[in-house]
Each structure stands twice: as C-alpha cells, then as structure tokens.
C-alpha cells in the first residue's frame, strides 16, 4: 500500500501490513499518528502524512523493506534506517 501527501509518501509492504502485531507496533511508535490499526492491518492516516518528522522510528521497528518513507520534495528520496 502507498499513500502520498504533498511532501511525504509512505509505502508499507502488503505482507507486513497484514501482520496485526506489526500494525500495533507502528501505531505505538509514530509520534504524529501516521499509522493506525484497522481490522488487524496497518492503516495510514492520510491527513497526518505531511506531519512526518522523519524520525525513522517506523523504519526501526519494520522488517527490512516493510516500510518506506519517501521525501516527495526530494525526488522521492527514501528515508534511511538509523545506524
């Protein structure tokens, strides 16, 4: 799944999005409520996408390739995982 706002795009791998525990973890760690749980799946809150502060917490809890945060204002450059 992918949703784009004006400045930020979020991609969540379909297999990861179907994991209820992962969905709950994303909703828990995001400081601006971009992620929610809907019927045990990851849901993206469209009106909050551009509130992303690029903290990378979603990337830190995601399996490799599970979440991509794209900076649309920078040619869709992906946010990188923290070291």
- Write the CATH number for 70: 3.30.70.20
Beta carbons within 8 Å of 37's beta carbon, 6+ residues apart: 20, 23, 24, 27, 43
28 within a domain of the structure (yes/no): yes
Q: What share of the chain is helix, strand, coil (3-state, %, to 5)?
A: 35, 30, 40
Euclidean distance between CA atoms 28 and 52, whole angstroms: 15
Q: What is the pLDDT of residue 72?
A: 96
83 within a domain of the structure (yes/no): no
What is the number of structural domains in the chain? 1
Q: Which domain holds residue 62?
A: 2-78
- Cβ-in-10-Å burial (0-12, 13-18, 19+) of 8 comes to buried
pTM of the model: 0.91
36 within a domain of the structure (yes/no): yes
| Chain segment 14-62, per-residue pLDDT in tens | 999 999 999 999 999 999 999 999 999 999 999 999 999 999 999 999 9
């Amino acid at each position: 799944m992918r949703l784009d706002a004006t400045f930020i795009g979020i991609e969540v791998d379909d297999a990861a999005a179907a994991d209820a525990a992962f969905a709950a973890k994303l909703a828990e760690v995001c400081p601006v409520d971009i992620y929610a749980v809907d019927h045990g799946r990851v849901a993206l809150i469209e009106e909050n996408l551009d509130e992303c502060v690029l903290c990378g917490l979603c990337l830190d809890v995601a399996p490799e390739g599970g979440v991509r945060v794209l900076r649309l204002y920078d040619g869709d450059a992906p946010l990188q995982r923290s070291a």
